[in-house]
Structure 1
Amino acid sequence: MSSIPPQRQKQLQKLLQKLGLPEGVLANWSLLDLALTHSSACASANYEKLEFVGDAAIRLAAAEFLWQTYPNFEVGEFAAIRSVLVSDRILAQIARSYGLERYLLVAGSATGDKAGMASRLADALEAIAAALYLSTYTLELVRPWLDSHFQTLTEEIRACPARQNYKAALQEWTQAQYKLLPEYRVVEINPIHGSSERFSAEVWLQNRCLGKGKGRSIKTAEQEAARTAFQTATGESSEFGSRNLQL
C-alpha cells in the first residue's frame, strides 16, 4: 500500500473491518482505492471499469447463495429474487449499511449532488466487489459480507412474493434469447378503486403474447403477466415444457 497515502490506507483498512474481513486479508489495496474513486475526483482513474467486473461478481455471489441456501427453488424464483438482490436500490441500501459514503472520493458538483448519491453508492459497491474478487479471483472476500444481506432480503421477499421482480427477470431472458425487450399492454377492466383485479396486462414479444395477468395496480398486473411469461419461457409452466418459446 506504499503508493497510497497513510491516511487513505487507514480508511481502507477500517472499511474492510466494517465488512467483517480479517486483518491481514490479501486485498489489492490499489484496486480498492480505485473502487472508491468517483470520476469527478479523477477522470482518468476511477471505479467505472471495475463496475463491469463487480456487477458480474455480485450476480454470481447472489446465484451461489440462492443455489446453496434454497436448493428447492425453481429457476424462475432464482431469477426473480436475484434481480431484486442485485438491483441498484438494494446495492445502495447495502452500501449505506457500511457507511460507504464516508470512504467515497468525490469532487466538484458531485459533492452536493444528493440525488445521485444512491447511484454512486451502488456503483461503488460493485467496484468494491470487483476489487476484492480480483484480489483472489474467488468470491471468498465477497460472500462473507454479502450473504447476511442476501439472507435477510430473500426471507423478506419470500414473505411478500409481490416483491419478486419478474419483469426484470423476463427482460433479462428476452434480451439474452432474442436481443429484444418485452412490451406491456395494460387496460382497466374494473374502474372500482381497490378492486383486486382492476387492471389486466399482457406482455408481448415479436407479435406474440407471452403472458397475461391481473392486479389491483398496473404494476401488479404487469408483474403477474411477467411471472406467467417467465415461467412459461423457462419451462416451469405445466402447459409448456420447452425452455425456449418459438417466436
Structure 2
Amino acid sequence: MSRRRDAELTNIEERLGYIFEDRQLLDRALTHSSAQASYSNERLEFLGDRVLGIVVAEYLFQEPERHNEGDMAARLNHFVRGEACAKIAKNIRLSDGMRSRAHDQDGVLADSILADAMEAVLAAVFLDGGMGEARHVVLRLWSDLLAQEPESFKDPKSRLQEYSQSVGLGLPHYQLEGSDGPDHAPQFHVVVSLDGAENARGSGTSKRDAERQAAKAMLEKLNAGLL
C-alpha cells in the first residue's frame, strides 16, 4: 500500500473513531466497482446494510416504551435509508478516501455511491472488530440523527398524504417527468399534483427519492401558504 493511500486511510480512521487491524478491509470498503470491479465494496455493502439495521433496531428497542411498533419501523427506515447514509458519509468526508471513476463533471460522487460506501465501511468495522465496535461507530456517527423528533423523520410522502386528505385536497398524484445524467449516477425528476393546488417538483437519484423530494417541496409550499 502506498504512503498516500496509507495516509488517506489514517484520516478516515480518525473520523470514524476506529483503528483497523486489517486495513485491507477499509481499503476495499472504499473501492467502488468503477475503479476495480474484482475488488469492489459491493459485497461489504450488503453486509453493512444489515449491521446498520440491527444496531439501529436495537437502539430503538432499548428506548423508553413511548413508540409503538409502527413508529419504530418508520424511525428505523428513516435512520438507515440511503439519504441518511450519504449524509453521514459527507459529514466525515468519506469521499476523501474513495477510489472511484464515477465522479460527475465537477468531481463529486453521487449520494448513492457515498451511501453504499458508508454501509461497506460499517461492514469492514464489523468484520475487523466485531459487533461491539460496529455499534460504537454507528451510535457515534448517527447520534444527531437518532436524536431527531418524530415529525422530522416521517416520510414526506406520508406527511403530504395525511395533510392533503385532512383538508380535502384528495390524494397526491406523482408523475415521472424524465431522467438524465450518466448511467452510474442518474437523476430522476418527478412532479406532484393536488386538486386545486400548484404543482411541485423534486429530483433524486431514484424515482422514490425524487417523489419524496417533490412531496417535501409541496409541503413547504403548503406551510408557507403559497398554494
Task: Compute the TM-score of the two structures, normalised by the length of structure 2.
Answer: 0.65
CA contact (8 A) 1:58 1:86 kept: yes
Structure 1: how far apart are the matches of 2:65 and 2:128?
A: 29
Unaligned runs of 5+ in 2: 173-196, 200-210, 216-227
Give the number of equivalent residue pairs: 173
Q: Kindly indicate whether residue 170 of structure 2 is the aligned counterpart of residue 199 of structure 1.
A: yes
Percent identity between the aligned chains? Answer: 28
Q: Kindly indicate whether residue 21 of structure 2 is the aligned counterpart of residue 20 of structure 1.
A: no
Deviation (angstroms), 1:167: 8.1
Q: Which residue does the alignment assign to 1:147?
A: 139
Deviation (angstroms), 1:31: 1.1
Report matched runs for 1:1-247 at 5 Å: 4-21=1-18, 25-107=19-101, 110-112=102-104, 117-138=110-131, 140-158=132-150, 160=151, 163-165=153-155, 196-200=167-171
Unaligned runs of 5+ in 1: 169-185, 202-215, 224-247
Which structure carries more helix by proportion? Answer: 2
CA contact (8 A) 1:36 1:105 kept: yes
Question: Alpha carbon RMSD of aligned pairs, Å?
Answer: 3.2
Deviation (angstroms), 1:142: 2.3
CA contact (8 A) 1:81 1:157 kept: no
Radius of gyration: which is bigger? 1
Deviation (angstroms), 1:13: 1.8
Seen in structure 2, the aligned counterparts of structure 1 residues 121 and 69 have a Cα distance that, compared at 3 Å, is same
Look up the equivalent residue of 1:127 and give its one-letter code: A
CA contact (8 A) 2:88 2:142 kept: no
Deviations 1:48-88 (A, max 9, x none): 11111001001011112212234442111111101010110
Seen in structure 2, the aligned counterparts of structure 1 residues 95 and 105 have a Cα distance that, compared at 3 Å, is same
Structure 2: how far apart are the matches of 1:125 and 1:53?
A: 11
